[in-house]
């Protein structure tokens, strides 16, 4: 009798586990949804390294939005380089002042489902704007 109760309990537990794992698997995003995922967490802070007090915004593309004030322009600039912030050079020839006031920028997130991790230091805001354009202009 105890053996039958144990077996019934084990079967019920196995069925519950199977039901839970099936529900979890169907709730996971499909690969086509991941390919459309485009969002970035961008930060800019004065200095030569990241700080917790950095100014941060979110940028989403497809649809364009987030807390970035120039989200449409930033998404358009990123689309030209397929989300590769490293290769983004908006106006390299623009003259800038020679005052050293470093800014450290970071970007983390996804561009069309591909992970993005970027960080770089710029000598001042003029150089940052000239090279990276609207992406870090907030």
Answer for the pair 83, 38: CB distance below 8 angstroms, yes or no: yes
8-12, 73-77, 105-109, 123-127: least confident range: 8-12
31-35, 36-40, 108-112: least confident range: 31-35
Mean pLDDT of 129-138: 95
- For residues 42 and 98, state if they share a domain: yes
- For residues 120 and 85, state if they share a domain: yes
- Paired sense of beta strands 39-46 and 103-111, if any: antiparallel
- For residues 25 and 41, state if they share a domain: no
**Helix intervals (H) in 39-124:** 71-80
Where does 1-138 show beta strands of DSSP type E? 39-46, 55-60, 65-66, 103-111, 114-122
Q: Which tens digits make up the pLDDT trace of 113-123?
A: 999 999 999 99
Domain carrying residue 77: 37-136
- For residues 16 and 80, state if they share a domain: no
Q: Which tens digits make up the pLDDT trace of 45-71?
A: 999 888 887 899 999 998 999 999 999
Q: Is the pLDDT of residue 31 over 60?
A: no
Name the domain count of the chain: 2
- For residues 45 and 17, state if they share a domain: no
Distance (Å) of CA 98 to CA 45, 101, 122, 128, 133: 19, 9, 12, 13, 19
What is the model's pTM? Answer: 0.70
More confident residue, 100 or 1: 100
Q: Is the pLDDT of residue 77 over 90?
A: yes
């Amino acid at each position: 009798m105890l053996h039958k109760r144990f077996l019934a309990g084990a079967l019920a537990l196995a069925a519950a586990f199977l039901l839970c794992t099936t529900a979890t698997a169907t709730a996971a995003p499909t690969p086509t949804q991941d390919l459309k995922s485009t969002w970035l967490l961008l930060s800019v802070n004065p200095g030569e390294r990241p700080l917790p007090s950095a100014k941060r915004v979110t940028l989403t593309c497809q649809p364009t939005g987030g807390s970035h004030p120039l989200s449409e322009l930033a998404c358009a600039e990123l689309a030209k380089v397929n989300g590769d912030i490293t290769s983004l050079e908006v106006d390299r020839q623009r003259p800038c002042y020679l005052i050293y006031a470093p800014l450290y920028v970071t970007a983390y997130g996804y561009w069309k489902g591909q992970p993005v991790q970027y960080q770089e230091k710029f000598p001042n805001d003029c150089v940052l704007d000239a090279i990276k354009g609207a992406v870090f202009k907030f």
